[in-house]
Amino acid sequence: MRLIGLDPGLRHTGWGVIDVDGNRLRFVAAGTVSTGAAQKLPERLALLHDGLKAVLALHRPDEAAVEETFVNKNPDSTLKLGLARGVVLLVPALGGIPVGEYSANHIKKSIVGAGHADKDQVAMMVQRLLPGSGVHGKDAADALAVAICHAHHRGTERRLAAGRVLAGAAP
């Protein structure tokens, strides 16, 4: 199974692709789709859409996972991040790819064991969990963390559903 994790941002949206085989995770690719602050908002959203669409076409993930938006103190920044996140959710959905969503604290707790871990701790654990992932920037490391979190949680959900079926309950 191939998963893509996405860390939304209007300036930089990180993406990370992993392959999952049971409990084994394998790094495939990671990077960032970036837009320029001097560009108009519609152009930036279009660039984000086209960049993510190209990444999905190249790596062909089976599922996607997106980090949920947190609320900034600046309402304008929050609104722009929400627009970028909308594009990030839309692109895989248009491709028929199921999308999971996880809060930042949930992702950090899944990867590091602490919900308030800093980006450096997350990046270090991503490199330990995905040997060969290297350094692709903090946004890409965050996206890989989203993919790892989704891999762990979707595996647990599948085992729980299988247990319910064995017990005679509806899935």
Q: Which residues are catalytic?
A: 7, 67, 139
> Are the beta carbons of 121 and 141 closer than 8 angstroms?
no
The three-state secondary structure class of 39 is coil
Please give the C-alpha separations between residue 44 and each of 29, 61, 100, 158, in angstroms, as whole numbers: 23, 24, 24, 37
| Nearest by Cα to 49 from 8, 3, 20 | 8
Instruction: Dump strand ranges (E) for 22-151.
Output: 24-34, 63-67, 99-102
| Nearest by Cα to 16 from 130, 154, 111 | 130
Q: Could you give the CA distance from residue 139 to residue 95 in angstroms, rounded to a whole number? A: 23
Q: Which helix (H) or strand (E) holds 12?
A: strand 12-21
